[in-house]
């Protein structure tokens, strides 16, 4: 089992991440870009003069859990940055397997699908449009190594992309409004659609049931 400690973080080492709202169907039209939603741990990787540190979405320091991510972040040619992404372990077909994240022997093979850049070399990018942030991110981590991989947007009809994600067993998709800024907490500019048959949705349903059962009169 993974262990972690909550840390008080100063400066830009940790920022509460932007979270998508739920949607019943994918948004259509040219005002949106779309990404695959991967089944993993939401994570932010921060690098400054003291090296790279990895944080969960709630601010726990997991730097020592996923060495490939930290190693790749330390290899990036920049003085400082803060990247948002999803830590995943993938099988031979390239599909994320969430349960592997909970087993220490698989930790060295976990990498980060990076999808947003929040800070770079002391510059706060949160007010920049998402297209600019993603372009800077792509350039920043190019050649960084296995531990940092780009989760780029896909120029495809949202419904077609969602249907494909469901067909191959992925968790779903996240759609983000073009020109939108990065804001901590739930954002109407980010919406997610989940594959009802994905392991992630089934796992969440089991966990919800366990919580309800635990509160029962039994």
Selecting among 37, 134, 176, 194, the annotated active-site residue is: 37
Is residue 73 within 8 A of residue 79, CB to CB? The reply is no
Rounded to the nearest 10°, the torsion over CA 75, 154, 23, 101 is -40
Strands (E), the chain: 5-6, 18-22, 32-37, 41-48, 51-56, 60-61, 81-88, 111-120, 123-124, 148-150, 172-177, 185-194
Is residue 84 within 8 A of residue 116, CB to CB? The reply is yes
Q: Which two tokens stand for residue 167?
A: 């067909």
Annotated active-site residue 37? The verdict is yes
Phi and psi torsions of 125, nearest 5°: -100, 5
Q: Which residues are catalytic?
A: 37
């Amino acid at each position: 089992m993974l262990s972690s400690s909550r840390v008080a973080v100063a400066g830009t080492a940790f920022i509460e991440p932007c979270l998508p709202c739920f949607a019943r169907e994918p948004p259509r039209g040219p005002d949106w870009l779309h990404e695959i939603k991967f089944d993993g741990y939401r994570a932010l990787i921060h690098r400054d003069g003291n090296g790279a540190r990895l944080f969960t979405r709630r601010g726990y320091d997991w730097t020592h859990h996923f060495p490939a991510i930290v190693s790749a972040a330390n290899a990036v040619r920049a003085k400082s940055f803060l990247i948002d992404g999803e830590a995943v372990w993938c099988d031979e077909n390239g599909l994320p397997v969430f349960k592997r994240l909970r087993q220490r022997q698989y930790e060295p093979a976990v990498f980060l699908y990076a999808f947003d850049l929040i800070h770079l070399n002391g510059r706060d990018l949160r007010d920049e449009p998402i297209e600019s942030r993603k372009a800077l991110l792509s350039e920043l981590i190019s050649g960084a190594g296995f531990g940092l991989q780009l989760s780029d947007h896909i120029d495809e009809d949202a419904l077609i992309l969602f249907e494909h994600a469901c067909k191959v067993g992925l968790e779903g998709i996240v759609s983000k409004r073009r020109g939108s800024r990065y804001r901590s907490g739930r954002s109407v500019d980010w919406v997610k659609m989940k594959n009802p048959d994905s392991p992630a949705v089934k796992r969440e349903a089991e966990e919800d049931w366990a919580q309800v059962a635990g509160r029962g009169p039994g």
